[in-house]
């Protein structure tokens, strides 16, 4: 080990998975999920992370299981209170 750290910003989670030991998933500049790479990919907890991972192409995927997000995209300049993802969250009450 060379004791090197870097911040790698990408929307390509297929690449992020293999380059990172830890991953932070951000939405409108807020951390939605953070953890070891394998934990985030094997069992995401936040619905935004689930939606992002469903968009990663898989060679063995026979049917489309991509999660499509509905709802209004909030303004980054004036984000909503609470969880900034709640306007698009499929689990909101």
Q: pTM here?
A: 0.83
Residue 85's CB is within 10 A of a number of other CB atoms, namely 22
Domain boundaries of the chain, sorted by first residue = 1-93
In 3-state terms, what secondary structure has residue 39?
helix
The DSSP bridge pattern shows strands 30-36 and 22-27 to be antiparallel
Indicate whether 88 pLDDT > 90.
yes
> Cβ neighbours of residue 86 under 8 Å, at least 6 residues apart?
80, 92
pLDDT tens per residue across span 33-43: 999 999 999 99
């Amino acid at each position: 080990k060379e004791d090197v750290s870097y911040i790698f910003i990408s929307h390509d989670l297929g690449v992020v998975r293999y380059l990172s030991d830890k991953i932070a998933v951000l939405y409108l500049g807020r951390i939605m999920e953070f953890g070891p790479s394998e934990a985030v990919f094997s069992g995401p907890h936040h619905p935004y992370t689930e939606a992002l991972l469903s968009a990663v192409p898989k060679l063995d995927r026979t049917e489309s299981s991509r999660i499509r997000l509905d709802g209004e995209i909030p303004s980054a300049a004036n984000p909503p209170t609470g969880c900034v993802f709640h306007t698009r969250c499929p689990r909101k009450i």
